[in-house]
Amino acid sequence: MNNKLDIKKHSPEVIMKQFRKIKTINDCIVSGQKSLSSIRKEKDYEYSVKYLSLWLISLNEYLNVSRKMSAEQIQETASYIYDEYHYFNIADVYLVFTKIKKGEFGDLYESIDGVKVLKFFKMYAEQRANIFEEMNIKQSDNKKYQDEKIGFKRISPNKKI
């Protein structure tokens, strides 16, 4: 198994180009992309953590802060992200890091660390859960509407009720 080649193929730089049209959490949910846990099943835990580490390295290099994350902090933070958010798909990972880079979760004030990154992931997860719930409610409402519509069609206009 050649994990290095796959990592390069799915590096943040490559994914950022491929996923430019992903703008919302809804886009991520319906994207059909693999979850982190499915990647772990195909590869292993270390591969999944290394994948997340590449995103953290990209973030670390992107931000203009005086106190950056060390290699150990990146590794540990990547492990925590995987452990807590293994259900996120690749599009979710892309969107979280894009939002962090754009400052959509707030300013970083001279430093980046694992606690801040994990807080941003938690904020995203809460937003994602709310949107997922709204999508399920809409889907349920649409199904009820379709069931009612079908139910009305079954009754022939010539039949007496």
Residues β-bridged to residue 158: none
What's the residue count for the chain? 161
Buried b (16+ CB within 10 A) or exposed e, 97-125: bbbbeeeebeebeeebbbebbeebbebbb
pTM above 0.85, yes or no: no
77 contact partners, CB below 8 Å, separation of at least 6: 56, 69, 114, 117, 118
Predicted confidence (pLDDT) per residue in 7-37, tens digit: 777 789 999 999 999 999 999 999 999 999 9
Q: What is the pLDDT of residues 126-137, one digit of tens each?
A: 999 999 899 888
pLDDT at 49: 95
The token pair at 16 is: 């950022």
